[in-house]
Amino acid sequence: MIYMLTHYAFVRYALIAGLITGVVAPLIGSFVVVRRLSVIADALAHVTLSGVAFGILMGTISRTMGLVDPVYYGTLFALVAALFIEKLRNVYRFYSELAIPIILSTGVGLGVVLIGLAHGFNVDLMGILFGNILSVTKADLVRIAVAGAVVIATVFLFYKELVSLSFDEEGARLSGVPAGTINFIFSALIALVISVSMQIVGILLVSALITLPVASALRVAHSFRSLIAYAIIFAEISVILGMTASFYFDLATGGTIVLVAVGILLIVLLAGRVRQLVRA
């Protein structure tokens, strides 16, 4: 593995991209989970699929449009969908969870139609759905690094507003926190994180990387800051172990990363149970 890292640029790109994802996915995931919006990442990831498909279709129609990486279309679609989810949650105030399946099914439906329309385009659909970390190019890495830096900087700048809104939205609004603006920024961050994570674990597994490390961290955290710290540690362990295991055992990288995250969750749950038994 060390030899591969020192001799092959694509392995280095893959590892760095994975490590960046291991920070930003659980960072934004901590807010997503405590706001009870875990499924939102799944819905937006599916919309990203339709955005990517749209981008590829545009590439087949127009050479100019084809110059734009389809991932940017995916991010744009996810951002618009995030705004629609906010709107729908207000429309269905007492069934706000309805907003997510509406957007999710729209995303899948549109994605399938667009892929069908662009039949014949040469695309690695499996890579989009399940990730292909080894396909990360230098340009991809730059995009992922810039998006990751934007996510980290934004969370740092708006940390106290994001925490306040996550804990008690009504109280935060009343005290003068610009809830509308912060919620919009939050939605944009989720869209960005999905675009960052997509190439690493794929559209179908993005929400796993956003929520699984946080689910583990919730069992051991004693403050919100420690929740974020533990979630990032668990995510990074998942990325490093997952990549190493996939390299040695020739497994699908995205799936292996997610399975390691599931393994960590099981260990944490088991440790909690053992601790309870010892105390009893």
Report how far Cα 274 is from the mean position of its chain's Cα atoms: 32
Cβ count near 116 (within 10 Å): 10
CA distance 155 to 11: 29
Cα–Cα distance for residue pair 72/194, rounded to 1 Å = 11
User: Which x/- pattern, by CB under 8 A, does the window 120-159 give for another protein?
Assistant: -------------------------------------xxx
Closest separation between CB of residue 30 and another protein, Å? 9
Q: Who's near 225: CB < 8 A, 6+ residues apart?
A: none
Shortest Cβ distance from residue 248 to another protein (Å)?
Answer: 35
Q: How far is the CB of 109 from another protein (least distance, A)?
A: 32
**One-letter amino acid identity for 194?**
I
* H helix runs in 137-252, sequence order: 138-157, 159-167, 169-175, 179-201, 206-218, 224-249
Q: Give the shortest CB-205-to-another protein separation in angstroms.
A: 25
Among residue numbers 16 through 45, which ones bind another protein (CB under 8 A)? 34, 36
**Does residue 233 interact with another protein by CB under 8 A?**
no
Residue 174 engages another protein in binding (rule: CB under 8 A): yes
Does position 177 interact with another protein (CB under 8 A)? The reply is yes
Binding residue for another protein (CB under 8 A) from 79, 161, 192, 243?
161
Instruction: Give the span between the Cα atoms of 167 and 130, in whole angstroms.
Output: 33
Residues 188-227 that bind another protein (CB under 8 A): 218, 221-227
Using CB under 8 A, count the residues that bind another protein.
Answer: 30
Q: Which stretch binds another protein (CB under 8 A): 13-21, 171-179, 195-203, 253-261?
A: 171-179
Structure token pair of residue 49? 């699929």
